[in-house]
């Protein structure tokens, strides 16, 4: 299995995953043009995608979903709450499949398992994509880490995990009190230290990649997120990366 975070942050999120001849996106929060360009930078094409799976209806996750679905006939998968909540932005889709949160969807050689996260959206989810040998978890836009979340992500070989903000930067930053409360709430986003603590509980020998994602450009700095993650990783040999808003990561292998 190979994956790349095409971009991550409040201005757009998308992750590319392929295994054998099957290729999917998790979210498409950039314009259709931008998604195509970022895939092209990896030597991949939008028209070869088999599906787009959508986590929730916020703009930074669904902005380009409708366009690529219509333009390239890409099937879209989400739960009902996300579809209803995002209807106006999504527009007409070339093909749509609904899942219930908790379902596992079999798509050719890939299994896509869905799990609930805690966020201010209709029915937000994360995904675990497996090919029978290795698995990748995508977990951003969650204000808290539940027992269920830990259970689900345990044993995955790759993690795309939210390191949204540094608490001190959020406190000292320009956000209004109300907005700070929203970000920090159980339905907001994970702080560096909470994410690091979560990561510590997920470490195991077969964990190969951890990508720090959905960093706030206002209330975080890549060095701070990395420092928090490194403080719990210790001597573990896994690869750590910070996903950027502007550029796709390289294609990373999970074996």
Interacting residue ranges for Zn ion, rule: CB under 5 A: 58, 60, 141
Two tokens, residue 107? 């798509």
Nearer to Zn ion, 145 or 254 (CB): 145
Nearer to Zn ion, 59 or 204 (CB): 59
Nearer to Zn ion, 44 or 61 (CB): 61
Nearest residue to Zn ion by CB is 58
Instruction: Please state the closest distance from residue 120 (CB atom) to Zn ion, in A.
Output: 7
Nearer to Zn ion, 183 or 196 (CB): 183
Instruction: Please state the closest distance from residue 164 (CB atom) to Zn ion, in A.
Output: 9
Question: The tokens 């796709």 sit on which residue?
Answer: 248
Instruction: Please state the closest distance from residue 151 (CB atom) to Zn ion, in A.
Output: 22
Instruction: Please state the closest distance from residue 204 (CB atom) to Zn ion, in A.
Output: 27
- What DSSP letter does each residue of the chain carry, written as one string? -EEEEEE-STT--EEEEEETTEEEEE---S-HHHHHHHHHTTT--GGG--EEE-----HHHHTTHHHHHHHHT--EEE-HHHHHHHHHHH-S-S-EEE--TT-EEEETTEEEEEEE--SSSSS-EEEEEE-SS-EEEEE-S-SS--HHHHHHHTT-SEEEEE--B-HHHHHHSS--HHHHHHHHSTTS--BHHHHHHHHHHH--TT--EEEEE---TTT--HHHHHHHHHHHHTT---EEEE--SSSPPPPEE--
Instruction: Please state the closest distance from residue 140 (CB atom) to Zn ion, in A.
Output: 6
Nearer to Zn ion, 44 or 58 (CB): 58
Residue 87 to residue 57: CA distance in whole angstroms: 8
Nearer to Zn ion, 18 or 60 (CB): 60
Instruction: Please state the closest distance from residue 18 (CB atom) to Zn ion, in A.
Output: 23
């Amino acid at each position: 299995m190979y994956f790349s975070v095409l971009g991550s942050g409040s201005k757009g999120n998308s992750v590319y995953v392929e295994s054998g001849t099957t290729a999917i996106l998790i979210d498409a929060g950039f314009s259709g043009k931008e998604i195509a360009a970022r895939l092209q930078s990896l030597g991949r094409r939008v028209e070869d995608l088999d599906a787009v799976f959508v986590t929730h209806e916020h703009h930074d996750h669904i902005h380009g979903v409708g366009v690529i679905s219509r333009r390239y006939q890409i099937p879209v998968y989400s739960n009902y709450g996300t579809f209803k909540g995002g209807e106006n932005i999504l527009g007409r889709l070339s093909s749509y499949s609904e899942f219930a949160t908790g379902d596992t969807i079999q798509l050719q050689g890939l299994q896509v398992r869905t799990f609930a996260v805690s966020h201010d959206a209709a029915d937000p989810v994360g995904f675990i994509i497996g090919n029978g040998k290795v698995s990748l978890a995508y977990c951003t836009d969650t204000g808290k880490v539940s027992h269920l979340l830990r259970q689900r992500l345990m044993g995955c070989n790759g993690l795309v995990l939210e390191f949204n903000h540094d608490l001190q930067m959020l406190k000292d930053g320009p956000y209004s009190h109300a907005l700070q409360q929203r970000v920090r709430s159980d339905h907001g986003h994970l702080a560096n230290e909470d994410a690091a603590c979560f990561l510590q509980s997920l470490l195991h020998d077969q964990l190969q990649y951890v990508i720090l994602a959905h960093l706030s450009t206002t209330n975080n700095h890549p060095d701070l997120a990395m420092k928090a993650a490194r403080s719990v990783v210790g001597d573990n040999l896994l690869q750590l990366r910070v996903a950027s808003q502007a550029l796709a990561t390289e294609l990373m292998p999970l074996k």
